[in-house]
A and B are shown apart, each in its own frame.
Chain A
C-alpha cells in the first residue's frame, strides 16, 4: 500500500511549503486581484458620476426653492377699483390689471419714501423691481376679499426675476450694465430695500403650488399643475396597470396552457418592454385622441399611454415573482383539494406580493419620469388652470406633467428658467425617492411575515 503511493509520481505544486504560494496560485491570485480592481474602479466611476450629477442639479436647482419678495403697503383706492361702489366682485371684475398697476406702483414708491430711502429712479424703473405677476395677484386677492377696498393694506409681492436673481448671485452690477431689463441703480435700490427689511428672501411655496407662468415672468412660474397632472396620471396607471398586469400574469403563469400561442404572447410582452416610449405616444395619439376622441393634454390620455408602457414591466416582474414561489406550496394546496384558483390566491399570490409591489412601483417610477409620449399627446401645452378633482372630471382637464415641465422650462430663454428647470428635477427626484422608499418599505413589511 505504502509502496504504491510512493511510486505514483506526485503532480502539481505539492513539493513547496504552504507558506509560499507557487507559480500557479500566484497567477490565480493576481488575476483575482486585477478583477477586483476593475470592479472597484467601475463602482467608483459610477458613484462619481452620480455625485457630479446630483451636485450640478442641486447647485443649479436649490435656489428655485427660495424667492425674493417685497413688502409694500398699497392704498386700494375705492373709486378706481369699485366704480359702482357696491363691493360686488362681479362688477369689480370689470377693472382689469391696468387699473391695479398704478396702485401697486404708487404703493411701492410710497413705501420707499416711507422708509426714507432716496432714489433718483423714475416711477417706471421703480415699478420694474416687482414682478408683473404681482398685479394679477393683487387683483385676484381683492376680488376674493372685496372688503379690503378703500383700505391701505400691506402686501407681499414677488420681486422681478432680475432682482430675485441678484440676491441669488445670478445677476451682478457688471451684468446689469449690459442688461436692458435691469440697471445698477435698480439693484442699489433693491439693496436699500433689503437693508430696510422690506425686501426678504424666504421659502418658495409658490414654486410647488403655483401654475406655470409666461416666459417673461420666471419668478412666478410654479409646478402646481404639473404635479397634479403627474399625480392624476399615476392614479390612472395604478388603477389600470396593476389589476390588468397582475391578472394577465396570473393567467399566463398559472392557468394558460403551454403552447405556441402563449409562447408568442410571452415573446411579445418581452418585446413590448423594449419598445421606445415615443411609439406609445404615437399609438396614444392615433387611438385615444384621433379615434376615441379623448381630449388632448388630458391626464386620462397620458395615463392610458403610460399604462400601456408600464404593463410589460409589471407583467414581467409579477411573472418572475410568481415563478419564484416554490412549486411545493402549490402541490401542498392542490394535494388537500384546493382548486387552482384557491391555491393561487391563498398561497402563491401572498408569497409573490413583495415582488409584485416592487415591480409595480418601479413601473410607476418609470412612468413618472416619462416625457416623450406625453409631448405627442399635447401635454406640453401651456396650462395655467388647475384641473378639477378627479371625481369632478379632472382627469379630462388639460394639465402638464413634471418631466414635460422640466423640458418646457429648459426651452425658455430667460436664464432664470435654468434654476426653475433644475428645481423641477429636484421635485421629480424627490417623488421618485418617495416611491422607491415605499417599495422598500412594502417589501420589508410583506417579507417579515414569516
Chain B
C-alpha cells in the first residue's frame, strides 16, 4: 500500500507542496541552517530527525515564517509553497500561517475555554457563517484530534485545565480547525504518554489524506511509524533525504547511519 502510494507520487510531478532552495538561516552570527534544498510532497508525512540543536525546529519555523518573530533571525534562499515564494514582499505572513498550521513542542492552549481555543482560528479568519457552523467546525476539529469524547461535556471549561496530552491534542484541534493545507508539528508527542502518542500518531495518519504534514521527532520508531519521507539534519545541514524505509534500512551517509543506530545523538 505504501509502495503503491509512492509510485503514484513518483509519476505526479505536481505533488510537490513545499520546495526549499538554498535555505540559509542565521541567528545573528550563528549559522543555524546551511544551504538546505528539499521538496516536500503533498498528502505525505515528512519526518525531520537529527541530534539536538541541529536546526530541525529552525527549518520548520521557516516554512510558516515564525522565524520573523525572532529579531536576530535572518532567512536567505527561497521556500515555495504551491510554487509561490513565501518570502516574497507581497506575502503576508499572517495569511501564510492560516494556510500552514503549526503545533508546538510544549502544549500552549490559550487560557480560554476549550471551545474558544478551537474556535479562535475560524473566528479570526471568518470561516464560519454562523454559530451553528462554528459549532460544527469545533466539533469536527475536536473529533479529528481524538479529543471530542473526552471534552464534549465540558467545552466551556478552561483549556489549560486539561492534562498535558489532552492539551496537546487541543492544540492540534486548534491548528486543524482553520483547515490549513500544511501542518507543521515540532515534537508534538514529547510531552505525551504512549497512549496519547498513539492517538496523535493515528491522527497524523488520518491527516495525511488531506494535508502535507511535516513532523520533527526524536523518536526513530515514531518517524518510521508515521512518515513516508524522512530528512536527516546534522549541524545545520540536511545530510540525507529520502523514503523513510530507505533511510532506516539503508542509509547512504555515514552520519545518518551513526545516528539511527544510536551511536550519536
* Residues of chain A having any CB pair with chain B under 8 Å: 257-258, 326, 328-339, 342, 346-347, 351, 449-450
Bound Cα distance A12, B239 (Å) = 52
Q: Is the CB of B108 within 8 A of A338?
A: no
> Does any Cβ of A come within 8 Å of B121's Cβ?
yes
Bound Cα distance A337, B125 (Å) = 8
Q: Is the CB of A329 within 8 A of B66?
A: no
- Of A334, A347, A351, chain B has the most CB atoms within 10 Å of the CB of A334
Q: Is the CB of A328 within 8 A of B108?
A: yes
Q: How many residues of B are counted as interface, with CB atoms below 8 angstroms from the partner's CB atoms?
A: 30
> Does any Cβ of A come within 8 Å of B158's Cβ?
yes
Bound Cα distance A155, B94 (Å) = 75
Bound Cα distance A335, B66 (Å) = 7
> Does any Cβ of A come within 8 Å of B106's Cβ?
yes
Given contacts A328-B108, A332-B110, A336-B174, A342 and B124 within 8 Å (CB-CB): yes
User: Would you list the 6 A-B pairs with minimal beta carbon distance, nearest first?
Assistant: A337-B98, A328-B108, A337-B97, A335-B102, A336-B121, A332-B108
The residues of A that contact B124 with a CB separation of less than 8 Å are: 336-338, 342, 346
> Does any Cβ of A come within 8 Å of B71's Cβ?
yes
> Does any Cβ of A come within 8 Å of B50's Cβ?
no
Q: Is the CB of A335 within 8 A of B101?
A: yes
Return 8 A-B CB contacts under 8 Å, by A number: A332-B109, A332-B110, A334-B97, A336-B121, A337-B178, A346-B120, A449-B111, A450-B112
Q: Which of A258, A329, A331, A337 is the one whose CB lies under 8 Å from B121?
A: A337
Q: Is the CB of B158 within 8 A of A337?
A: no
Q: Is the CB of A335 within 8 A of B71?
A: no
Q: Which of B95, B158, B171, B178 is the one whose CB lies under 8 Å from A332?
A: B171
Q: Which of A328, A338, A347, A449 is the one whose CB lies under 8 Å from B94?
A: A338
* Known pairs A331-B69, A335-B97, A450-B158 / 7 extra A-B pairs, C-beta < 8 Å: A326-B108, A329-B111, A331-B66, A332-B110, A332-B171, A333-B120, A450-B160
The residues of A that contact B98 with a CB separation of less than 8 Å are: 336-337
A70 CB, nearest partner CB in chain B, Å: 64
The residues of A that contact B102 with a CB separation of less than 8 Å are: 335-336
Q: Is the CB of B121 within 8 A of A332?
A: no
- Of A332, A339, A342, A450, chain B has the most CB atoms within 10 Å of the CB of A332
* Chain B, residue nearest A337 (CB): B98
Q: Is the CB of B175 within 8 A of A339?
A: no
Bound Cα distance A51, B97 (Å) = 60
Bound Cα distance A347, B106 (Å) = 17
